[in-house]
Structure 1
Amino acid sequence: MGAWLAGSVKVIHTLHGIHYLNYSNPVLRTMLISLERMLSKKSSAVICVSRTDRDRGLENRLFNPETVHVIRNGVAAAGKERIDSDDLRRELSIGPECPVIINVARLHRQKAQHTLIKAFARVIEKIPEARLMFVGDGPLRSSLEKQTAELNLSQQVRFLGMKRQIQDYLAISDLFVLSSLWEGLPLSLLEAMSVGKPAVCTESDGISEIITSGDDGILVPVEDSESMSEAIVYLLTNTAEAEKMGQRAKVKIQKQFDVHRMISETRALYTELRGQI
């Protein structure tokens, strides 16, 4: 710690999103901005996982433009499913005729799952056999479960909690949805796209760096449940187009968001800094 504060060692500081810029508490937001500036000032390099984070960070003077680098998140090729898809559907009481929507995220205000539940209530009116799975846990679980019950959706919505083998649940899903208010560069979206799942997501920060709307997914305005429901219904009823979007998404991840590319760029930065010692 002393060497770091004295500036005699090389330090790389990685920002996995700068969500505190969206905090409503001004005291907490100011405190975290000050802390970020201090950490960045003492760092030889700052890594942002998205261009959006870099640009917002520069706008808020969080770090020096000469030391910031963008190294986007990457994901590895998906492993083999551990559970047979038919068995998992039976375990979850989801029939083979039911299209499945999946949300993989913390149940938190940032992720705005209340918007997705409102959208799903509209989806059910047109596709009554549809099902929605939430994979993840968090402080809003009870609130979201209450909302689901109030909308009479308890039979169609599953809250599964934390799961280690996400690919098993992606395998039985037809559509991936993120309803976030803001994001850095969400790994859950990259993982879903890497296995060919079409996605409906909000136009929030780093998500727009991943999805080209209408080509490899669909982007909708933040907190717009009506637009979200329309996009979901479109992809669930136009399965050929959804399949094409999913395949284009898979190719994009392989080309632009591969974990080996991320490792290579990170190693190159470390090597460069080591040469400056």
Structure 2
Amino acid sequence: MEKTKVLHIITRVVNGGADENTLFTINGLDKDKYQIDLLTGKETESEILKRISIENHINVHQVESLVREIDAVKDFKALMEIYKIIKDNNYQIVHTHIAKAGVLGRLAAKMAGVENIIHGVHGITFPDQIPVHKREFFKNIERFCGLFTDKFITVGEDMKQKYIKANVGKAEDYLTIRSGMELSDFIDASNNHQDKINKLKKELGIAEDDLVVGMVSKLEPRKGYKYYIEVAEKIIADHPEVKFLIVGNGSQFDQLKEKVKNLKLQNNIIFTGYRTDIADVFSIFDIKILTSLWEGLPRVLVQAAATAKPIVTFDVDGAWEIVDQGENGYIVPMKDTEAMVEKLKLLIEDGKIRNEMGEKSQKKVNDSWTVENMVEETDKLYQELLNLK
């Protein structure tokens, strides 16, 4: 049987949610049915690309001019290079991911006459938090690309509705396939022995009986750590036994650390830096919070739920798909730190509610979040499109 040639295009692979999603899909698809290639930009390290190629048994194309930031000269050059790669390899499906790769990849695929063009929407390209003129500019680009997109895959329902409302493509062209995750480690971590939890607490400078509130994400402006620290400051004033963990790295690491130092809160707000043992880190949390200003679908909330943690989050896209208000956590208005403090205090001061909500969180995690389901649904979509042509 002749294999279907598929090209996945993503701007960079840097351990983000969309990257993980893409690699899980590439790895999981049946190699007897598909010949899968990956195209990415210069911001992906060559060693990572080599590992991806070997582990996933795929060909990898690196386009040096494909970069995240808008650059007219580089973008045009990238468009033509992507077009040539697509034309030379005669792909039957081109599946793009995220904004820049989505625009250039779909346009190049259209120019090359590809019959099946799919775009994976992992986050909102035109969030409410950016200036209106930029928002409208990005909406218009998405509307244009929507004219030659056969299917949109969104990782969450909120995102899907926003794109449809913005008149990007047609409603019938959208399909929600939840972001697939390897959750077994998180579910296992919910049963970590107390000795293991105490050992990790000690490593991070946390006393055994301290209560831990945590957030895991890149330290970037859109993650709202400004509000996280504001919430922490108010809680610590009344509950000095509470420790706040900031787990991750990013452009704001030094700036945020300096802010915490100036507030003299470094004994209560702990920066762990980048960690590979995220499931175990989740196991020492008593409460998971999220102060992101925009998301596609917050994978960390799914992971927190799998680890049986109660959740308090801003009203960010995707939160309602994971949190049942008052059941396994609380969703508070965007940037409303007072409301977040109020809900956190309820959980801090009542261990029974914390435990009950944590148990309900874990029950929210079902098969729709698994890698297997994501791959199966993607395969089904590919076959439907191929059978229509």
Query: Residues 194 and 254 of structure 1 are in contact (CA less than 8 Å); yes or no, is this contact kept in structure 2?
Result: no
The letter for the 1-side match of 2:121 is L
Q: Greater relative contact order: 1 or 2 (C-alpha under 8 angstroms, separation 6 or more)?
A: 1
Any stretches of 5+ residues in structure 2 without a counterpart?
1-82, 91-108
- Point out the structure with max Rg over C-alpha: 2
Query: Residues 149 and 169 of structure 2 are in contact (CA less than 8 Å); yes or no, is this contact kept in structure 1?
Result: no
Query: Residues 204 and 272 of structure 2 are in contact (CA less than 8 Å); yes or no, is this contact kept in structure 1?
Result: no
Identity %: 27
- TM-score, with length taken from structure 1: 0.91
- TM-score, with length taken from structure 2: 0.66
The Cα shift of 1:243 comes to 1.0
The letter for the 1-side match of 2:242 is A
The Cα shift of 1:142 comes to 2.7
Alignment of 1:77 onto 2:183: yes
The Cα shift of 1:256 comes to 4.7
Distance 1:164 1:41 in 2: 41
Bigger Cα displacement from structure 2, 124-133 vs 3-12 = 3-12
Any stretches of 5+ residues in structure 1 without a counterpart?
none
**Any idea what SS the aligned residue of 2:159 has?**
helix
The residue number in structure 2 matching 1:265 is 377
| Aligned pairs for 1:239-250 within 5 A | 239-250=351-362
The change in CA–CA distance for 1:21 and 1:173 in structure 2 (over 3 A counts) is closer
Query: Residues 292 and 314 of structure 2 are in contact (CA less than 8 Å); yes or no, is this contact kept in structure 1?
Result: yes
Distance 1:127 1:16 in 2: 37
Match of 1:56 among 158, 162, 165: 162
The residue number in structure 2 matching 1:128 is 240
Distance 2:309 2:368 in 1: 16
Alignment of 1:42 onto 2:154: no
Distance 2:369 2:356 in 1: 19
Match of 2:171 among 50, 65, 72: 65
The residue number in structure 2 matching 1:212 is 324
Query: Residues 78 and 167 of structure 1 are in contact (CA less than 8 Å); yes or no, is this contact kept in structure 2?
Result: no
| Aligned pairs for 1:227-246 within 5 A | 227-246=339-358
| Aligned pairs for 1:12-161 within 5 A | 12-26=118-132, 28-79=134-185, 84-161=196-273
The change in CA–CA distance for 1:146 and 1:130 in structure 2 (over 3 A counts) is same
Query: Residues 19 and 182 of structure 1 are in contact (CA less than 8 Å); yes or no, is this contact kept in structure 2?
Result: no
Query: How large is the Cα RMSD of the aligned pairs?
Result: 2.2
Distance 1:23 1:63 in 2: 23
Bigger Cα displacement from structure 2, 49-58 vs 65-74 = 65-74
Report the count of equivalent residues.
277
Alignment of 1:5 onto 2:110: yes
Query: Residues 48 and 72 of structure 1 are in contact (CA less than 8 Å); yes or no, is this contact kept in structure 2?
Result: yes
The letter for the 2-side match of 1:51 is E
